[in-house]
Structures are given as C-alpha cells and as structure tokens.
C-alpha cells in the first residue's frame, strides 16, 4: 500500500488535462455484453476501477484489448454469467453487468454488494425494475439470480433517482421485447453518455437527460466506436485545488456545462471561474467565503464533490452548512479534517463548517475515493506535511493524480507504506 506525502502551502498554477470519466467508462464497458460485435472505447481512464471491470468482463468470457487510453471489448465468447463477490465487494459498479447479461443471455448471478464506506447502497430498484420486465429474481448465498427467456418492455417509476439503476435498466431495455419507459430516471451526464453509445450500437432511446427515458427494444445490437466524456468530478477536484491553494489553474479537455453547479458555488464563494469551450480557468487571490451547499442529483451539486468542497470550506472565511442528501453516511472525511485543525460539527446529514485561517499537516487516511481526494486538497493547503494513507482509494478513481498535481507545482510524493 502506498501513501502520498504532501508538503502544503504551494499555490497550484498552470494547465492540466482531464481524463475520461470513470463513471461513464464503467457502464460503457458493461454495455459490450449486449452484442457479440466489438465495442471500442476511447479516452478510457487508466484506473483501478477500470482494471476491475476488465477483470470481471474477462472472467465472463469477454476478450479485452487494452491500449494506451482505449479498449476494445468483444463479448462473442461469453460463457460465464456470474459476477463474483470478490469483485463486487471491491467495486460496487460491478452490478452493471446484471442488466446486459439477463437481456442478452437470459441469466445472471451477481453478488449483492452490501454496504460500503459511504453508507448502505441497496440495488432493490435495479431488481424490481428487472422483475417488472419479466425477470425472475431470487437470492442464493448472497447472490442475486435473475432469469428471463426474453425481457419485456415495461413502465418503471424509480422511487429515488439512481444512476447505475437507470443505466442497468436502460441497457436491459435496449434488447427487450417492446417499449420500456423509465420514470424519475437519473439525468447525470454519464447516463446520457451511455445512451449515446447504445444509440451507436443501434438502440432506440428517447428522452435522455430528462427524467423520463423511453427505450424501444431491438432484436440485436451492433458494435460501435465511442469516446468517453471527460470526468466532471476530476475536473471539479482540480477546480477546488486551484481555489484552496490560492492558485490559478486552467483545466483542459473538460466540459464546463457539466460543472455549472460547482462553478456557481465557487463563484458564490468568491473564487474566479472562467469558462472556455472545453476548458475552465479557476483562480483565487485569497481565502474563499463560506457558502452553503446541498448535494442533489444532476444538475444539482454532485455528492461526489461534497468532500472536496468541505475541504475548501474548512479554510474559508465564515461558516458554511454542507448538507448531504444523496447518501446516508458520506462524512468519513470529517474526522480526518478535524485532525488537521478544521472546525466541523456534524448533526444528522448536515456538517457545520467554521473556516480556520490555516489547516495543519497531519497523517490522515480515508475510507473512500472522494473523501481521500478531499484530504489531498486539504494537505495541499495546509502548513507542514500531510501524509494520506491508503492511496488505493484514489487510484480507483483518479488517473495519475500526483503526476498531474506535480505538473501544477505541488510538492507531492508517493512512497510505499
Ligand atoms: N438507491 C436505492 N436503491 C437502489 C439504488 C439506489 O435506494 O436500488 C439509493 C442509494 O442508496 C442512494 C441513492 O439511491 O441513496 C443514489 O444512489 P445511486 O444508485 O444513484 O448511486 P450509484 O449508481 O450506486 C453512482 C456513482 C457514484 C455516485 C452516485 C450518485 C457510478 C459507478 N457510481 O453510484 O460515484 O456517488 O451515482 O451520483 O456511477 C464515486 O465515483 O466516487 C461514486 C461513489
């Protein structure tokens, strides 16, 4: 296990290129199961989670040809239908193979993910949706088994918006018999990107980007070539990096329209944000002002940016209230930020943050990806040395984070623990 050693107090300056989106690449890769023709993806980030889904797809019988930042997947030889516990427990997004497997092969066995560091994360809505489409669902030894001769189109209203739930059912419905309508569907750009890929594969999908998605099932899907959208959470993390260090950073290769909630919060906090066509410049001359943040599904403020924003608020002038509405227990970074001298009180799903003039470097560790990112940001701004342990969380979702930060002038080093 590696750790990151950060000497804080350097303003980030310069330009950085953002990678392809983890949460768009994962469903796109699962979508290869819907056809026996090759699906080629470009701008695939080199990440732990991408390696995990390649392991899972290979285990199912998919052939994966991995290039520098591309991958070609051929699901012509699939002969296994089980996503084993050891893979699902390291990456919950493994459940994305469920919909495609049942739709194309009529069977799937997927380990139930259970809880994780950000709280209970059930998949009941994925399952009830498939049941509505005619699948028989049963539970055996911690595994969900789904069977169907051919899925049928159905009207499915989600109780709450679920990103991977929408993606799973959208993929399943693409090969179902008849029309499926998903109501209260997720509107995240990653859902839209998956629909764009499915469209290239021959799926008939309408209403993407709205909360009602209509899918007319087809008999077969074909291969396709698709470029994954830029990672909006990586982009947002660098935006906060510029703000928290009083720096000036231009983030290239991003899509500013996916970050409007983050941009407007940062501006409200007194941070400079300038939007280019596919770039964002973010700068700060002094400490940010405290602002209130409430997480919400897209286009609201992303839960995946909450921890990073809290690091910024921990050093802002004044008080802010950060309310987490998407997940039950996504404040594991708070205790670590406290060890760095932050002043934060959590009451229920709200964190009351009183900014301090300077955080103090400390050894810290976090139990999830975005929490770890917030500790790196806090370390960049803190006085002295911060050591962030369990870097494998960051490696799951950020491509070459320390190399990119080094390029912006940070003092950061990876050392074996
Ligand atoms: N939910 C249910 N039942 C379900 C599904 C979800 O009650 O069947 C609830 C969840 O418990 C949660 C809410 O619905 O309270 C939203 O969860 P959602 O299903 O949207 O989350 P997800 O699809 O499992 C994706 C991202 C997460 C991101 C969330 C929210 C991927 C692979 N993961 O998870 O990303 O936080 O959407 O935007 O797309 C990350 O990248 O660090 C990460 C955790």
Ligand 1 lined by 124 (C-beta under 6 Å):
yes
Which residue's CA is the nearest one to ligand 1's atom 7?
122
Q: What is the pLDDT of residue 221?
A: 98
Among left, alpha and beta (phi > 0; psi -120 to 50; other), residue 68 is alpha
- What are the DSSP calls for 332-347, one per residue? HHHHHHHHTT-EEEEE
Q: Is the CB of 156 under 6 A from ligand 1?
A: no
Cα–Cα nearest to 122, from 304, 327, 303, 294: 327
Q: In whole angstroms, what is the distance from residue 168 CA to residue 331 CA?
A: 27
Which residues have a Cβ under 8 Å from the Cβ of 124 and sit 6 or more positions away?
A: none
Contacts of 234 by beta carbon, 8 Å cutoff, 6+ apart: 18, 19, 21, 398, 399
| Average confidence score pLDDT of the chain | 96
pLDDT for position 96: 97
What digits encode the pLDDT tens for the residues 361-379?
Answer: 999 998 899 999 999 999 9
Joined tokens for residue 406: 């080094």
At 4-44, the pLDDT tens digits run 999 999 999 999 999 999 999 999 999 999 999 999 999 99
Distance (Å) from CA 121 to ligand 1 centroid: 7
Residue 25 CB less than 6 A away from ligand 1? no
Q: Does the pLDDT of residue 120 top 80, yes or no?
A: no
The residue contributing the CA closest to ligand 1 atom 29 is 163
Confidence bin at 119 (pLDDT 50/70/90): confident
Mean pLDDT of 82-105: 95
pTM summary value: 0.98
The band of 115, judged by pLDDT with boundaries at 50, 70 and 90, is low
Task: Give alpha helix (H) positions in 348-412.
Answer: 369-381, 392-397, 401-407
Instruction: Just list the catalytic residues.
Output: 116
Cβ of 303 below 6 Å from ligand 1: yes
141 or 172, higher pLDDT = 172
Structure tokens at 250: 């231009």
User: Which residues have C-beta within 8 Å of that of residue 257, sequence separation ≥ 6?
Assistant: none
Ligand 1 centroid to Cα of residue 385, in Å, is 34
Structure-token match 């973010």, residue found: 282
Please give the helix or strand (H or E) that residue 128 lies within, else none: helix 124-132
Cis check for the bond before 31: say yes or no (omega within 30 of 0): no
């Amino acid at each position: 296990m590696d750790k990151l050693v950060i000497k804080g107090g350097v303003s980030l300056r310069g330009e950085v290129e953002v990678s392809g989106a983890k949460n768009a690449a994962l469903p796109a890769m699962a979508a290869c199961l819907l056809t026996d023709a090759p699906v080629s993806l470009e701008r695939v980030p080199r990440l732990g989670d991408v390696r995990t889904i390649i392991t899972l797809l290979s285990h199912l019988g998919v052939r994966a040809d991995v290039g520098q930042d591309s991958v070609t997947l051929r699901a012509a030889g699939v002969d296994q239908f089980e996503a084993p516990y050891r893979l699902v427990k390291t990456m919950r997004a493994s459940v994305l193979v469920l919909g495609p497997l049942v739709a194309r092969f009529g069977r799937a066995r997927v380990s139930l993910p259970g809880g994780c560091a950000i709280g209970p994360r059930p998949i009941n809505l994925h399952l009830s949706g498939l049941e509505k489409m005619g699948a028989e669902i049963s539970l055996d030894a911690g595994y969900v088994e789904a069977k169907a001769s051919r899925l049928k189109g159905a009207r499915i209203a989600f109780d709450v918006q679920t990103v991977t739930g929408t993606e799973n059912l959208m993929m399943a419905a693409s090969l179902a018999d008849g029309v499926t309508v998903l109501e209260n569907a997720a509107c995240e750009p990653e859902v839209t990107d998956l629909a764009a890929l499915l469209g290239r594969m021959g799926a008939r999908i309408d209403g993407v980007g709205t909360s009602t998605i209509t899918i007319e099932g087809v008999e077969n899907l074909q291969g396709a070539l698709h470029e994954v959208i830029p990672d909006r959470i990586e982009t947002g993390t660098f935006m906060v990096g510029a703000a928290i260090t009083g720096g000036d950073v231009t983030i290239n290769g991003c899509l500013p329209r996916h970050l409007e909630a983050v941009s407007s919060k940062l501006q409200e906090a007194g941070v400079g944000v300038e939007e280019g066509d596919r770039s964002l410049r973010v700068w700060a001359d002094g400490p940010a002002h405290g602002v209130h943040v409430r997480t919400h599904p897209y286009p609201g403020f992303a839960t995946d940016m909450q921890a990073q924003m809290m690091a910024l608020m921990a050093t802002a002038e004044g008080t802010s209230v950060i309310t987490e509405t998407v997940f039950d227990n996504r404040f594991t970074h708070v205790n670590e930020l406290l060890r760095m001298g932050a002043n934060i009180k959590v009451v229920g799903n709200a964190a009351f943050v009183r900014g301090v003039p300077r955080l103090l470097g400390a050894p810290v560790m976090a139990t999830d990806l975005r929490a770890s990112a917030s500790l790196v940001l806090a370390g960049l701004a803190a006085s002295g040395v911060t050591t962030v342990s369990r870097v494998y969380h960051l490696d799951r979702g950020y491509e070459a984070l320390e190399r990119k930060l080094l390029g912006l002038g940070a003092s950061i080093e990876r050392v074996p623990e």
